[in-house]
Structure 1
Amino acid sequence: MIDKVLLPIVITALMTGCVTQKKLVLNGDFHQLGFYNGISGSEKLSSDTLATITQKYDSTMVFDYDSYQKGYLQGLDQYCSLEHLFKLGEQGKVNWGVCEYRRHQEGLYVTKWQQGFERYGTMEPRF
């Protein structure tokens, strides 16, 4: 339930520009930066890339890659939800992208994707 409430709020904040990469870096909020990257389904930034971004905004700032990674994983776990994997299957997608790690976890992730994929197979072609 919380995921369904939190996700639209985060997406709205990102779309309205309230939260920017620059603002998060300048505030030293690398956990939140990672969270936003994860929940948007983006690839995780490498340590070198995060260092470059940090230096771009503040050459004296020391980035916290561990905090970024923890935030990224929390966001990614919300992005790679059962509903998202069902939609991937429903769209006929075999590659799960950043959610590929879910394929090897126990639980309903593969089942939900399979249900979506089966639904995709029964849909009439759209012209």
Structure 2
Amino acid sequence: MNSSSLRPLILLPVLLAGCAVVSEDECRSGLWYERGLQDGARGRSQALVYQIAQKCQEYGERVDSDAWLRGHEEGVEQYCTPENGYYQGRRGNSYEGVCAGPTADLFMAEYQRGLAAYQIELEYRRLVDRYESTERDLHSVRVALAEAKDKDQIHRLKHRRRALVRELRRLDLALSRFTGFGFGLMY
């Protein structure tokens, strides 16, 4: 996966930043180091402190951004491990580009590996859902065919049945490709 294909994943949190960033109680608590530590450990970018400051200003509170940044830096160290990179990617979580230095490469390699596994699993689930839906459709067509009396209706139902059987074969072939990824054929 190249960096341009990661761009939408990296920008997603920025687009979602309009959501509640901080509550009034959090602004009043004054626990800025702890909040920065928490945000860093979650992989949130430093840009978040400016959003927090804007929101707290609406409540008449001031943010200790230096304390937040010290906590954030420590939290990012916890976040930017190869194990966490895989964990974040495997769950399809977005990455805000917070890792730097030698850990960044290790984190990104594992993040991309985890994200690839996540995407494979999503595709597998999509195919299983489609397979099960097609099986239900085929069952409905068979029931309708058993009850059909009209010659034209029987012809249309037989045509639909053949199309559904072909679709099931195609899906079966696509699903069989996933056995090497640790997915058992569950259908």
1:27 to partner: Cα distance:
1.8
Q: Give the 5 Å matches for 1:1-127.
A: 21-44=23-46, 45-47=48-50, 49-57=51-59, 59=60, 61-87=61-87, 97-99=95-97, 101-102=99-100, 104-105=101-102, 108-109=106-107, 112-113=110-111, 120=117, 126=124, 127=127
* 1-structure distance, mates of 2:109, 2:56: 40
Q: State the structure with more CA Rg.
A: 2
Instruction: Evaluate the alpha carbon distance shift between residue 65 and residue 56 of structure 1 in structure 2; reply closer, same or farther with a 3 A threshold.
Output: same
* 1-structure distance, mates of 2:45, 2:109: 24
Identity of aligned residues (%): 22
1:68 to partner: Cα distance:
1.0
1:46 to partner: Cα distance:
4.2
Q: Please state which structure has a larger fraction of its residues in helix.
A: 2
1:73 to partner: Cα distance:
1.9
User: Conserved in 2, the CA contact under 8 Å of 1:88 and 1:116?
Assistant: yes
User: Conserved in 1, the CA contact under 8 Å of 2:82 and 2:110?
Assistant: yes
Q: Which letter does structure 2 place at the counterpart of 1:64?
A: D
* 1-structure distance, mates of 2:25, 2:91: 35
1:67 to partner: Cα distance:
0.8
Q: Greater relative contact order: 1 or 2 (C-alpha under 8 angstroms, separation 6 or more)?
A: 1
* Runs of at least 5 residues in structure 2 that lack an aligned partner in the other structure: 1-21, 128-187
User: Conserved in 2, the CA contact under 8 Å of 1:39 and 1:76?
Assistant: yes
Aligned to 1:10: none
1:39 to partner: Cα distance:
2.1
